[in-house]
């Protein structure tokens, strides 16, 4: 695994698994996107699976969404929330909608419009993960690790609580410790108010 932080590219020579292939099948239908949360850690080696992949996309017009919807249908994807395009488009402006391969709800894609500054940052500073001739676009590691700490259950020294989010954060941190931008990382640690959870990374 090689991370060129200047080019914002991670090159991998790993064997693709069924989850990677599912994600690729969906993302090849998209013009632009960024993957956030759990699957980022899994793509980069974490030894666990997941039932959903969180994906952010830029805001689009109804016509653009309709074209995309047709592509999803043509490629065997189904929306979990509704079978109506208009309904799905309306929902998408309010919350995430999920897509899965017809008849198989797991795994599924949690499809969400970019809304917050954190979403925008993830999208603008995304990293390209290249595996042979395939590529995945993922959230920057500095934000990803801090955000995973934020998602983690609160815990104190007396009542230690560790969950998959802490484990995902630790995995990414230990793997890319020497390469991540420490200043940027600390900015997100402070903004997300997770300084107390830093102890779980070391």
Please list, in sequence order, all residues whose beta carbon lies within 8 angstroms of the beta carbon of residue 176, skipping any fewer than 6 positions away. 3, 141
- Identify which of 58, 44, 46, 56 has the alpha carbon closest to the alpha carbon of residue 3: 44
User: At closest approach, how far in Å is the CB of 41 from other proteins?
Assistant: 10
x-or-dash string of contact with other proteins, 93-132, rule CB under 8 A: -------------xx-------------------------
161 sits near other proteins (criterion: CB under 8 A): yes
167 sits near other proteins (criterion: CB under 8 A): yes
User: At closest approach, how far in Å is the CB of 91 from other proteins?
Assistant: 26
Q: How many chain residues touch other proteins (CB under 8 A)?
A: 28
Query: Which region among 17-25, 84-92, 122-130, 182-190 touches other proteins (by CB under 8 A)?
Result: 17-25
Mapped onto helix, strand or coil, the DSSP state of residue 137 is strand
The secondary element (H helix, E strand) that includes residue 164 is helix 164-176
Between 91 and 175, CB nearer to other proteins = 175
Dihedral pair phi/psi, residue 138, rounded to 5°: -125, 160
Alpha-carbon span 173 to 171, nearest angstrom? 6
Q: Where are the alpha helices (DSSP H) in 8-162?
A: 18-27, 38-43, 62-74, 85-92, 117-124, 141-151
21 sits near other proteins (criterion: CB under 8 A): yes
- Contact residues toward other proteins (CB under 8 A) are 1, 12-15, 17-19, 21-22, 42, 45-49, 106-107, 160-162, 166-167, 170-171, 174-175, 200
């Amino acid at each position: 695994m090689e991370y060129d932080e200047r080019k914002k590219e991670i090159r991998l020579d790993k064997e693709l698994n069924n989850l990677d292939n599912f994600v690729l099948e969906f993302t090849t239908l998209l013009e632009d996107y960024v993957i956030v949360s759990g699957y980022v850690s899994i793509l980069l080696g974490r030894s666990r699976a997941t039932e959903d992949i969180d994906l952010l996309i830029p805001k689009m017009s109804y016509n653009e969404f309709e074209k995309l919807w047709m592509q999803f249908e043509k490629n065997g994807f189904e929306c979990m929330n509704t079978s109506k395009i208009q309904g799905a488009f309306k929902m998408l402006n309010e919350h995430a909608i999920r897509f899965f391969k017809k008849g198989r709800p797991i795994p599924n894609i949690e499809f969400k419009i970019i809304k917050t500054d954190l979403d925008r940052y993830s999208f603008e500073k995304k990293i390209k993960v290249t595996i042979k001739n395939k590529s995945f676009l993922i959230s920057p590691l500095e934000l990803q690790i801090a955000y995973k700490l934020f998602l983690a259950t609160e815990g104190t020294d007396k009542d230690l609580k560790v969950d998959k989010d802490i484990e995902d954060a630790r995995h990414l941190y230990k793997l890319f410790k020497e390469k991540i931008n420490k200043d940027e990382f600390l900015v997100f640690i402070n903004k997300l108010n997770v300084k107390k959870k830093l102890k779980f990374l070391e």
